[in-house]
Chains A and B, each alone.
Chain A
Amino acid sequence: MDTFVFVFAGAFATATPLLLAAMGELVVERTGVLNLSVEGMMAISAAIAFMVVYTTGSHSLGFLIGAVSAAALSVIFAVLVLVFLANQVAAGLAVGILGLGLSALLARSFESETLIPLRDINLPVLSDLPVVGPILFTHDPVVYLTIAIGLVLAWMFTKTRLGLILRVVGENPEAAHNLGFSVLRTRFWAIVFGGCMAGLAGAYASTVLTPVWSQGMIAGRGWIAVALVVFGTWKPLRVMFGAYFFGAALLAELAVQSLGIDIPSQIMSSMPYALTILVLAAVSKDTVRIRLNAPVSLGENYRPSA
């Protein structure tokens, strides 16, 4: 039972940075822009948020300034692809590398410093329930906020005018333009939103999940977030499911090992990745629907005709 709780309760915290970053990237990609700098944006925010929390002791300030710093980086990307019509893949990679480099440089003197992590909220009655309490009702506030963001996005894309505008910009920018929507403005704000979300993800990773600063601590989470968006076929609820599944699978690997079940650990270590791909592939095995869901103009720059 302890193992069960460890896996399913821990999955929420493990998935939170992935999900925050993936939700941001999902919105960006829905408008037709592929931003591959998620890893770098998470890194810069992780570094800056860590330094802010280390100096001020305020986690909220850390999240805020972390989000702003990653958003600033995303503005560079936005200018490159929206104004100068740079190749999105190349621009994303370049900005990502810039973020990784800056993060290491800025937080150099903080290497292996530690922080006091954010406390879990204890809800009266609910947190004391057996099994369900520790799994669902004993988390830090950001875990709940992340779930709320995911649900709001799912609702927004299907039920609101804003969601439709974002989608039409990604599906057919020419049509959106002719309808009188500004493609570039929409994409710009989507990119900035993606930056803020990646920033929250990075701040969560360095100040809550593992409150120890080390260069390179994002360790590929940004890339996993990008992959989750694709395998979740640009659907917020599927991406959420994929992120939590991946988190649970990561922890299940550790639980299986500590139970002493005899499976080669190298195979176990690759399990979460393989399983997540399999499950999400099964969920979205209908190729027609994938094609329907993929934003048609993804990766293509748009220059409005005068």
Chain B
Amino acid sequence: MKTPLKVILTAAMLSMGALSAAIADDAFKIGFIVPNPIGDVGWDHELDRGRQAVAEHFGDKVSIQAIDSVGEGPDSTRVMNKMASQGVDMIFLGSFGHMNDGLKLAKQYPDLAVVHAGGYQQADNFATYAVRHYEGAYLAGMAAGYATKSNTLGVIAAFPLPEVVGIMNAYVLGAQSVNPNLNDVKVIWMNSWFDPAKNKASAESLVSQGADVVFSLFPGTPSAVAASEELGVYTTVTLSDNSAFAPTRHLAAIQVDFGPIMIAKVQEAMDGKFVGNDTFAGIGENSVSVAGLSKDLSEEQKSAILAKQDEIRSGGFHPFQGPITDNKGKEAVAAGSKLDDGAVKGMNFLVQGIDTSLPN
């Protein structure tokens, strides 16, 4: 039910955009479409930080128009078509749901470079990107494994999608790697990208079951993080450092940074060398890192986490290197081998020690 604001803002911003497009001369014109309002943390916040990094890196050489609160649907179709018809050279689409409209747009404007977050389809002038959240998740999991007293971890996850499952698996593997006494990890699927009340109640439910570290996996709201502070349990979270929402209870965050990917794609497009490929970047490309580590972790624990981060960066360690057993007792990754990117992106098993199931 976000339509009305979108309508108002889209109208307002497009008219402003029209103005700035008229003023801008030979600068490389980039449009950013962000699905939700930009808060202090989370997906849209990180997309906006990426935009700021592009603006800072290229300065006067680019002219940027950014529109937020444009979810999937007719609004996004209209906004992206309007941008393209105004002659922008490049568009960043921030929502998975922008995929089909974006592909159509790319076909219609062959000279336009389109970059889409999170999709799985490419075209000559339609590139995609994703980040290796799971690498940071392994590190946040280590922090959770160190910090838990009850040896019970709780996870609140958005949807049982391969990317989410991969992050959860890496998190649990990280926790198990430092804590051999871990009980089965408890999971609540929100089946929603955004529901502050349910998010908070999920944290309360996990804590009532004895969990003392709550992992908020793509919550869409800092609600469970804030609830953890209130409940007095540690919390870990994806996408952004959420320390502000849990000043004493923030254990670790899987911080993403879209700047490097966006800057690289803009550079390609400016040089006329844009490729419609898929970028999958992680710690090694400075796209993912562990952030907001709690003061309650000892110096040895922190340095172990950071050492593991360096090991992942250098390629010496892969969170999904075998042997890994799934939670039905079958071998998922054989000793001596590791999952390739295709298997990581299509993750369809849960590792041993996770007490939930996936839909068939």
- What is the interface of chain A, defined by CB distance below 8 A to chain B? 2-3, 5-6, 10, 14, 39, 43, 97-98, 100-101, 104-105, 108, 111-114, 117, 205, 209-212, 214-220, 250-251, 254-255, 257-260, 262, 264-266, 269
Interface residue total, chain B, C-beta cutoff 8 A: 51
Provide the B3-23 mask, 1 if CB < 8 A to any CB of A, else 0.
111011000000000000000
Contact across chains for A265 and B189 when beta carbons are under 8 A apart: yes
B194 at the interface (CB under 8 A from A): yes
B281, chain A: closest CB distance, angstroms: 26
Bound form: Cα–Cα A93–B197 in Å: 24
Apart from A210-B197, A214-B221, list 4 A-B contacts with CB within 8 A. Answer: A3-B208, A39-B1, A111-B40, A265-B160
B226 at the interface (CB under 8 A from A): yes
8 Å CB contact of B357 from A6, A215, A262: A262
Question: Residues of A contacting B192 with CB < 8 Å?
Answer: 269
Contact across chains for A215 and B4 when beta carbons are under 8 A apart: no
Pairs A–B under 8 Å by Cβ, sample size 5 = A101-B3, A101-B7, A212-B196, A220-B1, A258-B154
Which residue of B is nearest A218, CB measured? Answer: B1
Bound form: Cα–Cα A6–B7 in Å: 41
Closest 9 CB pairs of A and B: A101-B4, A112-B39, A104-B5, A265-B189, A260-B355, A254-B205, A210-B196, A6-B208, A269-B191
B264 at the interface (CB under 8 A from A): no
Secondary structure of the A side of the interface? helix
Which residue of B is nearest A221, CB measured? Answer: B197
Provide the B193-205 mask, 1 if CB < 8 A to any CB of A, else 0.
0111111111011
8 Å CB contact of B196 from A39, A104, A214, A254: A214
Contact across chains for A112 and B222 when beta carbons are under 8 A apart: yes
A21, chain B: closest CB distance, angstroms: 14
Contact across chains for B356 and A264 when beta carbons are under 8 A apart: no
A134, chain B: closest CB distance, angstroms: 11
B303, chain A: closest CB distance, angstroms: 32
Bound form: Cα–Cα A266–B188 in Å: 11
B186, chain A: closest CB distance, angstroms: 5
Question: Residues of B contacting A104 with CB < 8 Å?
Answer: 2, 4-5, 37, 69
Contact across chains for A250 and B2 when beta carbons are under 8 A apart: no
Question: Residues of A contacting B195 with CB < 8 Å?
Answer: 219
Question: Residues of A contacting B145 with CB < 8 Å?
Answer: none
Question: Residues of A contacting B282 with CB < 8 Å?
Answer: none
Bound form: Cα–Cα A6–B187 in Å: 16
Question: Residues of B contacting A216 with CB < 8 Å?
Answer: 1-2, 194
Contact across chains for A210 and B2 when beta carbons are under 8 A apart: no
A215, chain B: closest CB distance, angstroms: 5
B38 at the interface (CB under 8 A from A): yes
Question: Residues of A contacting B189 with CB < 8 Å?
Answer: 257, 265-266, 269
Contact across chains for B194 and A214 when beta carbons are under 8 A apart: yes
Question: Residues of A contacting B7 with CB < 8 Å?
Answer: 101
